[in-house]
């Protein structure tokens, strides 16, 4: 059996299955290349952990540290992470094109590390605590701009045949972080809201701050790996080392001769738009999960953190299986049909979430005669109630009174579909994009792709928090379904242009 045939049956996370690699380089260079790629996998894993480890507790944490925080502000806090990443990605991508990539990686991880410490201290100030949470999440996102460097490194260090496998491995690493983050948060919920206080540094360690502190420890490990293990490698579309990375006296990276031909900019822009759509859809789901379940199922804050952590963890495990299937499906049917199938599954997920039936959610203050009675409550009663979870749909959201509740079975089914559709579109987006770019340095282009995804993660939470709060889930999820249809139409219109750089130049046939 040839090495090419063997590639079809090799495990997902095995990297040395690429048959087309010209191993003219010595074995040390080959092993060094894959060790470095695995460091990139680990960096992507920790970037994912850094985001998801607090996502299910973000809403109750906001409610705890600042009584003025509402669901609309939650959208801004979630968006702050992505806004920071959007601003940082092109910058780190450009940096990585001209300097040793360990520089932007170490700098970005250090920013991420310090921002998580800031997040843990967000409840210490006397006022405006919600804004401290917002700023800390923005800086965590800025540090996460290093995923542009990670993607450009993996794209540049793999051949065309290796690319789908490597991108699937990287997405699998991201999914593992996606699993571990909520799982750790769910496990750390046993610490409780009070937790313990380290008085000499005035640090409160509880179910909300301990995940951020754990992410800080992970960051330290990541910095050590980048410094000690990462080496620079760049290969052409056949796997041949076309650039031996050397450093001049001022530590600049010597550039290589770029392949002839121009990149299809229409395909590049369209791919960025499609990636924006995919990330927007997932950002909507991950943002609305906790408020939606607290409103529809009358879960307490602790229950919402625990149950949603378990659900998201299960989605992550599901994603790992999907990556295995995607690898096989892409070889059999091609990257583009698999992407279309992923979008169709995402449409089904949000369509399932549309409310129906005659069952309505429990409403806050439903046992009171009228809302004016709330303002007449004594201060003692208010203080007593503030220490207790008020479960159900807030009366301020008027749609709660006439919009049917979403059933738990609907929510679970939608989560299952998201766990299939999102990872499929995610890995196919990276794969198609990197193939369109070819062997040219991809730092800046990957920066723009990451920025488009971050822009989606910025606007998605703001969109859904505003529309959901004002109009309810029926309008929110109907608009999302329309957006998926728009994405499918765009994909169909540029389907013939989403091919590799070499195929467009006529050097290979896809």
Main-chain dihedrals φ then ψ at residue 222, nearest 5 degrees: -60, -40
HSE, CB side, 13 Å, CA atoms: give it for residue 140.
Answer: 32
Taking the alpha carbons of 362, 368, 373, 379 in that order, is the dihedral positive or negative?
negative
What is the pLDDT, as a whole number, of residue 369?
43
Main-chain dihedrals φ then ψ at residue 6, nearest 5 degrees: -65, -25
Cβ distance 474 to 402 under 8 Å? no
R_g of the chain, CA atoms, integer Å: 24
Collect all residues with Cβ–Cβ distance below 8 Å to 98 and sequence separation of at least 6: 252, 253
- Rounded Cα distance, 111 and 88, in Å: 11
Q: Exposure of 382 by Cβ count < 10 A (0-12 exposed, 13-18 middle, 19+ buried)?
A: exposed
- Rounded Cα distance, 428 and 341, in Å: 11
- The three-state secondary structure class of 392 is coil
Q: Provide the terminal-to-terminal Cα distance of the chain, rounded to the nearest Å.
A: 23
What is the pLDDT, as a whole number, of residue 254?
44
Taking the alpha carbons of 105, 108, 113, 119 in that order, is the dihedral positive or negative?
negative
What is the pLDDT, as a whole number, of residue 115?
93
Does pTM top 0.95 for this prediction? no
- Rounded Cα distance, 157 and 25, in Å: 13
Collect all residues with Cβ–Cβ distance below 8 Å to 250 and sequence separation of at least 6: none
Cβ distance 403 to 467 under 8 Å? no
What is the pLDDT, as a whole number, of residue 123?
83
For every one of its 510 residues, what pLDDT tens digit does the chain have, with 9 covering 90 and above?
443 344 433 444 444 444 444 444 457 777 888 888 889 998 988 888 877 788 778 888 888 888 888 777 887 887 788 788 888 888 888 888 788 888 999 999 999 999 999 998 888 888 888 899 999 999 998 998 888 888 888 877 777 777 777 877 887 787 778 777 877 887 888 888 787 888 888 888 888 888 889 989 989 999 999 999 888 877 766 666 655 444 444 444 444 444 455 778 888 899 999 999 998 998 888 888 888 988 898 888 778 878 887 887 788 788 888 888 888 898 888 889 999 999 999 999 999 999 988 888 888 654 444 444 444 443 443 444 444 456 788 888 888 888 898 999 999 999 999 999 998 998 888 788 888 887 666 667 877 887 888 788 778 878 888 888 888 899 999 999 999 999 999 999 999 888 876 666 555 444
- Rounded Cα distance, 48 and 305, in Å: 18
Main-chain dihedrals φ then ψ at residue 507, nearest 5 degrees: -80, -25
Task: Answer whether CATH 1.20.1250.20 is correct for domain 11-370+386-504.
Answer: yes
């Amino acid at each position: 059996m040839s090495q090419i045939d063997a590639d079809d049956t090799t495990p997902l996370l095995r990297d040395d299955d690429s048959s087309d690699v010209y191993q003219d380089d010595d074995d040390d260079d080959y092993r060094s290349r894959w060790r470095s790629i695995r460091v990139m996998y680990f960096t992507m894993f920790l970037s994912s952990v850094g985001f998801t480890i607090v996502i299910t507790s973000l809403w109750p944490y906001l409610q705890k540290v600042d009584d003025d925080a509402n669901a609309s502000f939650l959208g801004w806090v979630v968006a702050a992470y992505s806004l920071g990443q959007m601003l940082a990605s092109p910058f780190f991508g450009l940096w990585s094109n001209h300097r040793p990539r360990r520089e932007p990686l170490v700098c970005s991880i250090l920013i991420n590390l310090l921002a998580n410490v800031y997040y843990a201290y967000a409840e210490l100030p006397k006022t405006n605590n919600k804004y401290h949470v917002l700023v800390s999440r923005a800086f965590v996102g800025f540090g996460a701009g290093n995923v542009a460097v990670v993607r450009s490194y993996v794209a540049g260090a793999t051949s065309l045949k290796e690319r789908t496998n490597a991108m699937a491995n990287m997405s699998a690493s991201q999914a593992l972080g996606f699993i571990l983050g909520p799982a750790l948060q769910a496990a750390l919920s046993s610490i409780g809201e009070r937790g313990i206080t380290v008085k000499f540094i005035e640090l409160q360690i509880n179910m909300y701050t301990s995940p951020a502190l754990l992410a800080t420890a992970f960051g330290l490990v990541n910095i050590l790996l980048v410094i000690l293990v990462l080496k620079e490698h760049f290969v052409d579309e056949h796997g041949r080392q076309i650039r031996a990375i050397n450093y001049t006296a001022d530590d600049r990276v010597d550039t290589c001769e770029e392949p002839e031909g121009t990149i299809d900019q229409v395909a590049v822009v369209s791919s960025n738009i499609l990636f924006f759509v995919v990330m927007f859809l997932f950002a909507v789901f991950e943002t609305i999960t906790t408020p939606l379940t607290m409103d529809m199922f009358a879960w307490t804050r602790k229950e919402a953190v625990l149950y949603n952590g378990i659900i998201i963890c299960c989605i992550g495990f599901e994603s790992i299986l999907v990556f295995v299937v995607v690898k096989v499906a892409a070889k059999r049917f091609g990257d583009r049909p698999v992407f279309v199938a992923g979008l169709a599954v995402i449409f089904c997920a949000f369509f399932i979430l549309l409310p129906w039936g005659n069952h309505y959610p429990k409403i806050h203050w439903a046992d009171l005669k009228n809302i004016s009675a709330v303002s007449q409550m004594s201060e003692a009663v208010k203080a007593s109630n503030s220490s207790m979870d008020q479960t159900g749909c807030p009366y301020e959201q008027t749609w709660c009174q006439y919009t049917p509740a979403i059933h738990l079975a609907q929510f679970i089914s939608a989560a299952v579909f998201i766990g299939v559709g999102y990872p499929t579109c995610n890995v196919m987006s990276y794969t198609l994009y990197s193939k369109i770019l070819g062997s040219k340095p991809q730092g800046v282009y990957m920066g723009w792709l990451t920025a488009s995804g971050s822009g989606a993660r910025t606007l998605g939470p703001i969109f859904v928090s505003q529309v959901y709060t004002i109009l309810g889930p029926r309008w929110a999820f109907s608009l999302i379904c329309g957006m998926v249809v728009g994405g499918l139409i765009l994909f169909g219109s540029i389907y013939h242009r989403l091919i590799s750089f070499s195929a467009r130049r006529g050097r290979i046939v896809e």
